[in-house]
Amino acid sequence: SLFDHGNQRVELFEKILAQYKERTDRFASKGLDTNGMNKVIEDAKAQVIEPLQNALVAANDSQSIKNILRKYCLFNGCKNGVNYHLAAKFEIERLSATLAFVKPKLNNTEYDAKIAEAENNLNSAKGLLSEIAGAQYNDNGKQIWNKIRSSFEILKNINKSVKESIKETRKEESKNE
């Protein structure tokens, strides 16, 4: 029945959030500040799952259930409903936490400008996301994800370059022993 379909949607959303929570816990175990990621997950429960559950309980016919299922989306699938944009919000928080983690270790190095660029991209993506709030993406979805991707690439390159310089340093040290 349609009501079962509604409950399956709730279960699916809860399963998805549980996977995001597992990822968050893994990042926490590596020393990252995961408050932002946890808040994204909590807000998804409050803004999507709980209202969806409450609306389903109150629904009394198949048309209202259909309307409810079109009204609450964890990602970007609701044409005229609440689109939470979970993936984008989570990635922004994850990358921000990663930047906050590496920044003090790389302070006053050649990476300062790159770190600032990555932070600016994430802030800008966050700004665009808050402008669209719960609406569906239009062209801004591409902009948001380009900024997120660009920050990710910057972090990946910093990581690669730091690892290479550690290798070089070790090579030099072993030559000098």
Residue pair 97/113 in contact by the 8 Å Cβ criterion: no
Could you give the angle at the alpha carbon of 149 between the alpha carbons of 144 and 100, nearest 5°? 95
Alpha helices, DSSP H only, in the chain? 2-29, 35-44, 50-58, 62-69, 86-102, 112-132, 140-175
Q: How many other CB atoms are found less than 10 A from the CB of residue 134?
A: 15
Above 80 in pLDDT, residue 92? yes
How far apart CA 24 and CA 2 sit, in angstroms, is: 33
- 171 vs 127, residue with greater confidence: 127
**Contact (CB, 8 A) for 48 and 8:** no
Reported confidence tier of residue 40, pLDDT bands at 50, 70, 90 = very high
What global pTM score does this model have?
A: 0.91
Burial class (CB in 10 A: 0-12, 13-18, 19+), 75: middle
What is each CA distance from 177 to 9, 166, 169, 171, in whole angstroms?
Answer: 63, 17, 12, 10
pLDDT tens-digit readout, 124-165: 999 999 999 889 888 889 999 999 999 999 999 999 998 888
